[in-house]
């Protein structure tokens, strides 16, 4: 019955890659006043084990990459089985999402449709550098933040219009928009072969680093303002944020210096190390923030 679920399909689902998308979930959790434990676990599993892998599989099927892709250095050839898996995981996400609530199901459906448009050959947002950048930043950032926040707190949709909710959601989008070009920096040749003009290709190797550095300067300003005006101990939280993100800054600068001497250093493994380090540091900060705010610590 599940003969279509072979090793190639499992690899292209790229389930471990979902870890890189975890910081937005952790951010939403850390800002939640009264998250339900079981809803939080359910939402986490639906997103990271079903929705994100479904998007990965669908995009892999239409991209048919021969070079390295996010979370997979040597992607195997794709087959129709991968498309079946993408739809199966999408349906599973929607069915499980129904246990959370109809707003969550609707959000899952919208996210799934947008993520498919990214690589689907009849739409292929990926070939439009600015549009794809805006769409990815909006949906992997603010949209996901609001989806998680509503689901784990079960608040009315009208509550999402409150400043204390939409402000960090917007901050999530700015952060994703700053980071996104770095995920494309090692794929220039592959994207050029397919005729996809990604934002990183448009910026160039050095331009991608400078763009991301400027973007994260804005993100830091945003976090400073958010913590300062939202929390009584805002400066303490901002200082902790800087401390835990320091390893990311050090790695980023050292990598940039290597790339300045040799652009071939802008490769898959270095990019994945940056993604991993960034995700570890961001997740650690938001989880620590949640523990402090909730009174557990």
Q: What is the pLDDT of residue 250?
A: 97
Q: What is the pLDDT of residue 3?
A: 54
Q: How confident is the model at residue 64 (pLDDT cuts 50, 70, 90)?
A: confident
Q: List the structure tokens of 287.
A: 């989880």
Q: What is the pLDDT of residue 79?
A: 81
Cα torsion angle, 271, 273, 279, 285, sign:
negative
Cα torsion angle, 42, 44, 49, 54, sign:
positive
What are 179-198's pLDDT values in tens digits? 999 988 988 887 787 777 88
Q: How confident is the model at residue 104 (pLDDT cuts 50, 70, 90)?
A: very high
Q: What is the pLDDT of residue 25?
A: 97
- Secondary structure of residue 72 in the 3-state scheme: strand
The separation between CA 105 and the C-alpha centre of its own chain, rounded to angstroms, equals 19
Q: What is the pLDDT of residue 1?
A: 44
What are 133-159's pLDDT values in tens digits? 999 999 999 999 999 999 999 999 999
Average pLDDT over residues 170-186: 93
Q: List the structure tokens of 268.
A: 């898959």
Q: How far is CA 191 from CA 128, 143, 202, 285, in A?
A: 12, 27, 11, 34
Domains along the chain with CATH numbers: 7-294 (1.10.600)
Measured CA to CA, the distance from residue 6 to residue 124 in angstroms comes to 27
The torsion region of residue 191 among left (phi > 0), alpha (psi -120 to 50) and beta comes to alpha
Q: What is the pLDDT of residue 194?
A: 75
Average pLDDT over residues 18-44: 94
Measured CA to CA, the distance from residue 162 to residue 167 in angstroms comes to 8
**pTM score of the predicted model:** 0.93
């Amino acid at each position: 019955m599940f003969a279509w679920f072979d090793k190639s399909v499992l690899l292209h689902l790229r389930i471990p890659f979902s870890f890189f998308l975890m910081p937005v979930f952790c951010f939403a959790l850390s800002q939640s006043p009264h998250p339900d434990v079981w809803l939080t676990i359910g939402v986490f599993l639906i997103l990271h084990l079903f929705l994100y892998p479904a998007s990965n599989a669908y995009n892999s099927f239409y991209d048919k990459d021969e070079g390295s892709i996010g979370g997979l250095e040597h992607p195997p050839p794709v087959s129709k089985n991968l498309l079946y898996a993408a739809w199966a995981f999408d349906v599973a996400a929607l069915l499980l999402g129904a246990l959370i609530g109809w707003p969550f199901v609707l959000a899952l459906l919208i996210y799934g449709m947008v993520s498919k448009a990214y690589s689907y050959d009849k739409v292929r947002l990926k070939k439009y550098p600015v549009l794809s950048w805006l769409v990815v930043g909006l949906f992997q950032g603010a949209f996901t933040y609001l989806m998680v926040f509503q689901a784990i707190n079960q608040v009315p949709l009208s509550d999402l219009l409150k400043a204390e909710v939409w402000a960090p959601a917007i901050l999530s989008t700015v952060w994703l928009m700053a980071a996104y070009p770095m995920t494309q920096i090692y794929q220039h040749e592959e994207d050029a072969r397919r005729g996809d003009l990604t934002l990183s290709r448009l910026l160039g190797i050095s331009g991608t680093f400078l763009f991301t550095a400027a973007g994260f300067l804005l993100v830091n300003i945003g976090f400073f303002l958010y913590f300062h005006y939202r929390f009584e101990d805002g400066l303490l939280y901002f200082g902790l944020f800087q401390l835990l993100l320091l390893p990311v800054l050090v790695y980023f600068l050292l990598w940039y210096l290597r790339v300045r001497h040799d652009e071939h250093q802008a490769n898959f493994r270095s990019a994945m190390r940056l993604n991993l380090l960034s995700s570890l540091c961001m997740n650690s900060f938001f989880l620590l923030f949640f523990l402090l705010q909730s009174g557990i610590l």
